[in-house]
A = this chain, B = another copy of it.
Amino acid sequence: MSASEITRSGVKTHLSNVVVSGGVAYLAGVTPATGTTVAEQTKSVLDQISGLLAGVGSDVSKLLSAQIWLTDIRNRDAMNEVWNAWVAPGAPPARACVEAKLAAPEWLVEIMVTAAV
Which A residues are closer than 8 A to B by beta carbons? 3-6, 8, 11-19, 21-24, 26-29, 62-67, 69, 73, 76, 80, 83-84, 87, 90-103, 110, 112, 114, 116-117
Residue from the set A3, A73, A94 with the largest chain B CB neighbour count within 10 Å: A94
Copies of this protein in the complex: 3
> A14 with B116: in contact, given A28-B94, A96-B29 (CB under 8 Å)?
no
A23 is contacted by which of B15, B22, B92 (Cβ under 8 Å)?
B22
A18 is contacted by which of B4, B14, B76, B94 (Cβ under 8 Å)?
B94
In contact, B16 and A92 (Cβ under 8 angstroms): yes
In contact, A14 and B96 (Cβ under 8 angstroms): no
List the B side residues contacting A83 at CB < 8 Å. 14
List the B side residues contacting A16 at CB < 8 Å. 91-95
In contact, A26 and B92 (Cβ under 8 angstroms): no
List the B side residues contacting A73 at CB < 8 Å. 101-103
